[in-house]
Amino acid sequence: MRLQTLLETPSMQTMRVIAGKRGLKRQINNIGMIESPDIANFLKADQFLITNGYPVANTSTDPVALIKAMNAANCAGLGIKDHRYVDHLPQAVLDLADELAFPIIITPGNELVSETVRKMLGIILKSQTDELSRIVHANQILADLLLKDPSHATVLNKCSELLDHAVFLMDSHFRVISASQSLPVTRHTLTDFLRNETNIDYFNLHSRTTVTYQQLTLTITPLFSAYKENKAFVGFVDLDAGNSTDEMLTQVILNTLSFVNSRVDMLNESAFRNQSGFYLNVMDGGISNELVKKTLKARSIEPSTKFQCATVLVTTNHQSLLSNHLLEQVQQLTLWFIKEYESPVIAFSLKQQLVLLIDSEQNAQHFLTALVDFIQPKLDKADRLIVGYSYSTLPLTELATTYNEAAEALALSRNSNHPITIYRPKYVKELISLIPANEAKSFVERVLGGLVGGISAAEQLNLLNTLYGYFYYHQNIAEVAGHLDIHRNTVIYRLKKVEKKLALNLDDPEQAQTLEMAVLLWHNQQIQK
């Protein structure tokens, strides 16, 4: 209890404060008596010392040194029996007590010091008993309330009623999500102040902090959370930090709200798993397009919205199988990042990967670069975050296509110095280069083998170059002639000779397509040579 509260009880009203009145808010929890000159060696915080004045009167105890020592030890105050051995204290002593806000009190002269001590201890003991009863009562009320699965507002209102101070709850982004009715400001204005004007690094806030807002003292404390990246915070308005009852009630409230927050964590994790299951079914084609569109509308997502797909993975040198802790860390960091910047991004998990669906309104490259820059420094040095994302931007009904592109890009990121890779569509030349050399050679010989017999190597080359130009310039004879610097009749002659030697008709689409593929493979072989 506070010293002032003790002095206001009826049996203590005969005491007089002669100095240090500003210090009457000091806590007092035990009483001691000055019986020896070396009392300064045995001082304790929140202790009130009483003397009959004899140690001061016979100069065995220097009152100035004693007050300095008691103040340094954070003692509650000093009591001197009225007109026993000391009629008055030197002015220097009184001035020092006023300067230090250290209370000096005159105790009744008509009762034994031991009787005064007994009365004071009785008041303190009763206060502590009442305090304990209040804490137990509050704990029971909140425990019974939690069994009813109440809303945040209901819990906060009850906490505010028990503590007699306004209480508010913030998410991991310092946004005030709920508050007791006694909160003297709006949640929106308080959120704006906390996020934009305090300069508090709330992502790394792990201990109590105090800020002032519109003459209000806000005490903010992190709540326990299963995931440190997703911790919440509770704030108290004008909390009396020196009041032991308030401190214990605060701890009861913190425990209660931590339990509520942990339950929210579990519900969020369950919702995330359900969301992952839905998008995996979409990807596998296990849900009809109509049901996909209906579900998206229920989730306030316009079915026609187009997304790019990104896959996020952690690679590590020291273990082949990633730990669940590491995967959860990356997942929680990613979800925190998305929510912090209110990005139009959907996340779900697939085995040891995190899949992100990035709205076409969001610049995917910029978002993913910022995400990697945010997460990578928080991982061990041996861990590396890599990302692959799709080139295509398609509705979610085409998720399989964008995911496959992202997965292929992710595979390239493993061997790249850059953590982020976009899928690069393969063009005809690249696709041709992927055909095994022996198969390509066999196909070319089978289709173009008829050009070998009966003509020179130079004529073979002329025929093949003419064929390549014919297909390259979309069968435009004039373009081919101009490119080869020959007469257009020469082009026609060579094409007729190809048809005769290969026994095919270039006007037949299927035969022309086969011949074009063989010529492209032949041309690729020439480039490789």
Task: State in Å, rounded, how far the first CA of the chain is from the last one.
Answer: 93
* pLDDT at residue 322, rounded to an integer: 61
- Which of 93, 86, 69 shows the shortest CA–CA distance to 20? 93
The tokens for 295 are 């579900």
Half-sphere exposure of 418 (CA within 13 A, CB side): 10
State the average pLDDT over residues 357-370.
95
When comparing pLDDT for 227 and 72, which is higher?
72
The pLDDT confidence band at residue 69, using thresholds 50, 70 and 90, is very high
Residue 429 contacts residue 480 (beta carbons within 8 Å): no
pTM reported for the whole predicted model: 0.68
Q: What is the pLDDT of residues 434-468, one digit of tens each?
A: 788 888 889 988 888 888 777 888 888 999 999 98
Where residue 320 falls among pLDDT bands split at 50, 70, 90?
Answer: low
Please report the pLDDT score of residue 331 as a whole number. 92
d(CA 29, CA 26): 10
| Closest to 401 in 3D by CA, of 493, 266, 499, 308 | 308
476 three-state secondary structure: coil
Residue-level pLDDT at 351:
83
What is the secondary structure of 313-338 as a DSSP string? Answer: EEEESS-SS--HHHHHHHHHHHHHHH
| Per-residue pLDDT tens over the stretch 182-225 | 999 999 999 999 999 999 999 999 999 999 999 999 999 999 87
Share of the chain above pLDDT 70, in %: 95
- Range among 53-57, 89-93, 215-219, 515-519 rated most confident: 215-219
Q: Say which range, 106-115, 144-153, 393-402, 444-453, has the weakest mean pLDDT.
A: 444-453
